[in-house]
Amino acid sequence: IINLCVNARDAMPEGGEISIRTELFAPDQAFLDQHPDAKQKPYVLLTVEDTGCGINEKILPRIFDPFFTTKEVGKGTGLGLAMVYGIVQNHEGFCTIASTPGRGTTVKIYLPGIDRDAEKPADSPSPSLSLADKTILIVDDEPMVVAMLKNHLESVGCKVLTAENGKVAVDMFQDNKDRIDLIILDINMPVMCGRDAYQHFIRIKPDIRVLVSTGYIMNEDTMEVLNMGAQGFLQKPYTMKDINARITEILSQDSAN
């Protein structure tokens, strides 16, 4: 979305209007003809539209090509739309671009919708262990991750403490070691990283349960923490279903011991 908006901005040096819309889209015959891989299922349609200079018909077919740019050296790499295209492809979606020179450009992204009702049965079998009344310490320097995870865990009844780096987490754990059931630990953080924090945690309470969660595929620090005894690893991004499953798994190991 940022890539598309930056393109729209660049196309409107004198100002103009960018609009971003979302809607549900039911594929019609024309769409299915145009996109043979499309399924007859609802798509979520994201439209980014601008009132900028538009795109010359001649270059329109090359617009998604990597390194295709009309911008001066240093201004554009020509990777913006290629990235958009790649991301949309990875989600089994479709991307179209329509433009009228002098009037503006419309980019449409179709992403397959998720049928929530169809997803429900998998969600509903209640886990053998309830997460309600568990106290979980979230350690992550990314406020968005913390906010989402906290929100989710509180919605299933957990009590949640949060820390924005390893140092804050160690202090907090020192003060609350008897009531914290599990720590969800990021690895790459400022001030004190997850690996160093983990060493403090196990000194304070050797049997503390720790779920390591990072955006990086198993790096050395993550391996080290797991070798030192952390109970689980979950790579970001994860779904709330994933995190529930991992937490339940780790905490039931706990009660079995």
Ligand X SMILES: Nc1ncnc2c1ncn2[C@@H]1O[C@H](COP(=O)(O)OP(=O)(O)OP(=O)(O)O)[C@@H](O)[C@H]1O
Within 26-55, the residues that bind ligand X by CB under 6 A are: 50, 52-55
Q: Is 78 in the site for ligand X (CB under 6 A)?
A: yes
DSSP per-residue string spanning 146-161:
HHHHHHHHHHTT-EEE
Q: Is 7 in the site for Mg ion (CB under 5 A)?
A: yes
Q: Is 111 in the site for ligand X (CB under 6 A)?
A: no
Contact 210, 187 (CB under 8 A): no
Between residues 8 and 189, which has the closer beta carbon with respect to ligand X? 8
CB of 6 to Mg ion, least distance (A): 5
> How many alpha carbons lie under 13 Å from residue 10 in its C-beta half-sphere?
15
Nearest residue to 234 (alpha-carbon basis) of 182, 172, 159, 168: 182
Interface with Mg ion (CB under 5 A), residue from 52, 80, 104, 166 = 80
Between residues 63 and 184, which has the closer beta carbon with respect to ligand X? 63
> How many alpha carbons lie under 13 Å from residue 176 in its C-beta half-sphere?
20
Between residues 70 and 135, which has the closer beta carbon with respect to Mg ion? 70
Interface with ligand X (CB under 6 A), residue from 45, 46, 63, 210 = 63
Q: Where are the alpha helices (DSSP H) in 136-191?
A: 143-155, 166-176
Instruction: Give the footprint of ligand X on this chain (CB under 6 A).
Output: 3, 7-8, 11, 50, 52-55, 63, 68-71, 76-82, 105
